[in-house]
A and B are shown apart, each in its own frame.
Chain A
Amino acid sequence: MRATINSKLVETGERERLKELLRTRLVECGWRDQLKQHCKALVPDTVKKELLQRIRTFLAQQS
């Protein structure tokens, strides 16, 4: 049953349209930005520090 509905949606291309619609709606309501910030927060401090270090040394080499 599920499969038929799914395949029907895909065949007509309705699934893609639904996806695009969902994307625009989520951006409008800010869900996307919230999620991004959440992700960034999830990055632990240690990882951030290491990244900064790497970049500093790289710049020192360049100039």
Chain B
Amino acid sequence: MAEKRSKLLSENNGEYEDALEFVVNDIIDDVTLGLCFEVHRSSKLGTLFLGDTDPQSKLEHAMVDRAGVDVFGNPPAKKQLECICPNCHRNLAASRFAPHLEKCMGMGRNSSRIASRRSQKVLKDRLTGDGMKHDSGDSEDDYNDADWSLYADKRVKRLKKEKRSNSPRRHKNSRLKNGSGYSTGEMYGEVGVKQERADTPDSIGGYEFMTLEEKKTLLMSTCGVISGHTKKMCTRSHKCPQHSDDQRRHVRQFLLGTGVGGEDDDHVDIDTYVDGDSQSLRESLQWEAASNASSPTDSTSTNNSNSGSKRKHGKKSSKKRKNQKGHSHHTSSMGSQPLGMFDLMD
């Protein structure tokens, strides 16, 4: 090897060439020495023969290159990654780990909501005492509606108001429960009045303390349906989706006097129809008519029941009253009343 090199270089003459030749050799020696060191070290460590495998094991462990199977020949199977929660030391699936940790440590949005709901419920239960035994599950809905409260507790109401949220979940809950939980029997109990609204009476008390004027004002402008569990009037508009027109009519009858009568036509007693209330009743019924006219998409059953009650009044009341009411009905309810009603009134 060295001769070949010197033969190549000997084409050019002189000491210069010798020197160059020497340098080349030197570098090559260095590299060779380096390799020797590596081999010697690997033999000392015992790694020298590691790469040698017999042909049999080579076949066994050959790399797999088929489709649908990984390098070892295993079909793709995702094993469940388990982890242990550092808080509660439970074995959890990795996909469920993050939401569990939120709840476990109490730091996510949802978990703080649940915690505040629970504490509010505890507060509320303490306040209600033994007087009202509505199920505690519904009390959470109180905080969802924009309600007229019959309860006097300012402090608690302010706290609750801050924590109230309008998430769709809450609306769904209250929508489900309000439709079915409405009951007149429970409306009066220990009741107070919420302070945030400008036109509510300041005193603690029930609806009795609200003057007729105020009641009428409320009922004319708001839905007013009293929630069965909270005894509060709904402050939404007349078209609030949580309450039906039937409920609104019911609450107006209830608040403005019992003289309007029950559901069946046969038992209407004219003597109980108090004169003082006629104006307010007419107004509330005007509201009904107005809402009927403006929302023709209401269900036919609602329309029928409304017209039924009007028909009843038209039949049984005195001529003067009937005419008055007939006229008012005529003018305001042109659009949606069935023709039969007009016949009866004449």
**Chain A interface residues (CB < 8 Å from chain B):** 1-2, 5-6, 9, 15, 18-19, 22-23, 26, 32, 35-36, 39-40, 43, 51
Contact of A32 among B16, B27, B35 (CB under 8 A): B35
Query: Please, how many angstroms separate the alpha-carbon atoms of A9 and B30 in the complex?
Result: 15
Interface pair A35/B35, CB less than 8 Å apart: yes
Interface pair B26/A6, CB less than 8 Å apart: yes
- Encoded as 1 (CB less than 8 Å from any A CB) or 0, chain B from 9 to 23 comes to 000000110111011
Find the A residue at minimum CB distance from B49.
A40
**Chain B interface residues (CB < 8 Å from chain A):** 15-16, 18-20, 22-23, 26-28, 30-31, 34-35, 39, 43, 46, 48-49
Interface pair B31/A40, CB less than 8 Å apart: no
Interface pair A40/B48, CB less than 8 Å apart: yes
Query: Please, how many angstroms separate the alpha-carbon atoms of A23 and B30 in the complex?
Result: 10
Find the A residue at minimum CB distance from B34.
A23
Given A2-B19, A5-B23, A6-B23: A22 and B28 interface contact (C-beta under 8 Å): yes
Interface pair A22/B31, CB less than 8 Å apart: yes
Question: Min CB distance, A52 to chain B, in Å?
Answer: 10
Find the B residue at minimum CB distance from A35.
B35
Query: Please, how many angstroms separate the alpha-carbon atoms of A15 and B278 in the complex?
Result: 115
Contact of B27 among A1, A15, A39 (CB under 8 A): A15
Query: Please, how many angstroms separate the alpha-carbon atoms of A23 and B35 in the complex?
Result: 9
Find the B residue at minimum CB distance from A54.
B46
Find the B residue at minimum CB distance from A52.
B49
Contacts of A51 in B (CB 8 A): 46
Contact of A9 among B23, B28, B34, B48 (CB under 8 A): B23
Find the B residue at minimum CB distance from A38.
B39
Contacts of A19 in B (CB 8 A): 27, 30-31
Query: Please, how many angstroms separate the alpha-carbon atoms of A5 and B43 in the complex?
Result: 37
Find the A residue at minimum CB distance from B39.
A39
Contacts of A5 in B (CB 8 A): 19-20, 23
Query: Please, how many angstroms separate the alpha-carbon atoms of A1 and B20 in the complex?
Result: 10
Contact of A26 among B18, B22, B31 (CB under 8 A): B31
Question: Min CB distance, B322 to chain A, in Å?
Answer: 109
Interface pair B15/A36, CB less than 8 Å apart: no
Query: Please, how many angstroms separate the alpha-carbon atoms of A18 and B15 in the complex?
Result: 22
Interface pair B31/A1, CB less than 8 Å apart: no
| Beyond A2-B18, A6-B26, A32-B35, 15 extra complex contacts between A and B, CB < 8 Å | A1-B16, A2-B19, A5-B23, A15-B27, A19-B27, A19-B30, A22-B27, A22-B28, A22-B31, A23-B31, A36-B35, A36-B39, A39-B39, A40-B48, A51-B46
Question: Min CB distance, B41 to chain A, in Å?
Answer: 12
Contacts of B16 in A (CB 8 A): 1
Q: Which of B26, B31, B46, B49 is packed against the most chain A CB atoms within 10 Å?
A: B31
Q: Which of A2, A15, A40, A51 is packed against the most chain B CB atoms within 10 Å?
A: A2
Contacts of A43 in B (CB 8 A): 43
Q: Which of B28, B34, B35, B49 is packed against the most chain A CB atoms within 10 Å?
A: B35
Find the A residue at minimum CB distance from B30.
A19
Interface pair B19/A18, CB less than 8 Å apart: no
Question: Min CB distance, B141 to chain A, in Å?
Answer: 69
Contacts of A9 in B (CB 8 A): 23
Closest 5 CB pairs of A and B: A2-B19, A22-B31, A5-B19, A1-B19, A39-B39
Find the A residue at minimum CB distance from B52.
A40
